[in-house]
Amino acid sequence: MSTKPSRVHMAMGFDPDDDVTLNPETASLLERRDRVLGPSYRLFYREPVAIESGKGVWLKGVDGRDYLDAYNNVPVVGHSHPAITEAVTKQLSTLNTHTRYLTEPVIAYSERLLATFPEELNRVTYTCTGSEAIDLAIRTARHATGNRGLIISEHAYHGTTVAASGISPSLGPNNPLGEDVVTIPSIDTARIPADQIATKLAADVREAIARLQKSGAGVAAIILDSILSSDGVQVEPAGFLAPLVDIVHEAGGLYIADEVQPGFGRTGNWWGFERHGFVPDLAVLGKPMGNGIPIAALVGTTEAQEQFGDAVRYFNTFGGNPVSIAAANAVLDVIEGEELRQNAARVGAMLLEGLERIGAADDRVLHVRGAGLFLAMEFVDAQGDPDAALAARVVNGMREEGILISASGPAAAALKIRPPLPFSEQNAEQLLETLERVLPR
């Protein structure tokens, strides 16, 4: 491969300069891909996975192997779920148009979606991706408050647009923060005592507010994942985010909950902020919303949205189209019909217990944590420093054993386990048994 040595690679990702022997089908796809796709693409794993089909929690490789998917939250109800295919097919053969005409599906779905939220969150605007929704949340908050400043976590990831990447420092040093963006330290639940986390976080946010007020930007919003994902899947003690609502309101800003990863039942609740016991002004929904058919949304209070809505029209060509809505509606059907929130809570608790058992027996495991089917196991070396190399070895070792997970956190030293919600107890057992075999290597 002729990739330039200066290229920035992804933690855990494929590096063409590594000495990896690929199977012929994978090597052929990789060669064709390198001739046509843009140079900003990256692949997962030291040895990339080439996929042919998917069903439930399983992906079938072009190498003929079955891979247990313990990572993807987009196929929230499982890969290739027939209920999604049926709903999309039916709508696609009937009508697919935009929201400048009246169509019934977007209205009926909105009524149903909003019923899963606290009643204050009573208006929804559709986009196609979480990036677009967070970007719209920024525009909305700046209009609502008249302020510019945004407060984020120092290892946040919120998306790929100019504005969303400007609040995504986890993209690395070549990706500049946006103007009027200030960071608070990553919440480190592995190292800070549980009873000090909320207090420290509140103090950090007050300091960030002071910086934005001093600079003249003022506070438009604080934006946090309701499970702090790129910061290393920080989840407990539930409740530590709640005090920030009043703090940011006092400063004239809004609270934007990024629900792209925790939302749609993953934690056992519909929404991650429920775990923390607060109501945000705006909530950003994405990845799992249509089980892979692009759809995302901004949900919020009327008060938070009306200044923007009065001043500027917003039209997203594909946003809220009847086909994406049909997929999203079928997702709600399946989450409810197959009791997937309940399954996430039950199997998640079992996984957490298993990970804790494994961690208790291994000095290299600093911390195990999780909420529903969103879990992490954090590694340290003999000096107690984050051990990203071990995390990478485990992630790639699990991939060799046919189980797909990834890593997360400022040092990329925490395993990230986030499977589709139909993940069964048997799947969980397989993951735990495999981890017990891979970890000692």
C-beta neighbour count of 176 within 10 angstroms: 11
Q: Which is nearer to a copy of itself, 323 or 366 (CB)?
A: 323
Q: Which is nearer to a copy of itself, 104 or 336 (CB)?
A: 104
Q: Rounded to the nearest whole angstrom, what is the least distance from the CB of residue 300 to a copy of itself in the complex?
A: 8
Q: Which two tokens stand for residue 295?
A: 């759809």
User: Which residue is listed with tokens 């499982």?
Assistant: 78
Q: At what angle do helices 388-400 and 425-438 cross, to 10 degrees?
A: 120
Alpha carbons 74 and 305: distance in angstroms, whole number: 27
Q: Rounded to the nearest whole angstrom, what is the least distance from the CB of residue 276 to a copy of itself in the complex?
A: 24
Q: Which is nearer to a copy of itself, 354 or 419 (CB)?
A: 419
Q: Rounded to the nearest whole angstrom, what is the least distance from the CB of residue 316 to a copy of itself in the complex?
A: 6
Q: Which is nearer to a copy of itself, 91 or 189 (CB)?
A: 91
Contact 126, 294 (CB under 8 A): no
Alpha carbons 201 and 184: distance in angstroms, whole number: 8
Q: Rounded to the nearest whole angstrom, what is the least distance from the CB of residue 133 to a copy of itself in the complex?
A: 11
Q: Which two tokens stand for residue 7?
A: 């290229």
Q: Which is nearer to a copy of itself, 144 or 366 (CB)?
A: 144
Sheet order of strands, 66-69 included: 58-61, 66-69, 403-404
Say which amino acid occupies 256.
Answer: I
* Strand intervals (E) in 116-273: 123-127, 149-153, 181-184, 219-225, 254-258
* E strand or H helix at 298: strand 296-300
Q: Rounded to the nearest whole angstrom, what is the least distance from the CB of residue 323 to a copy of itself in the complex?
A: 7
Q: Rounded to the nearest whole angstrom, what is the least distance from the CB of residue 27 to a copy of itself in the complex?
A: 10
Q: Which is nearer to a copy of itself, 81 or 341 (CB)?
A: 81
* E strand or H helix at 416: strand 414-417
DSSP secondary structure letter of residue 178: P
Q: Which is nearer to a copy of itself, 103 or 243 (CB)?
A: 103
Q: Rounded to the nearest whole angstrom, what is the least distance from the CB of residue 192 to a copy of itself in the complex?
A: 30
Contact 244, 294 (CB under 8 A): no
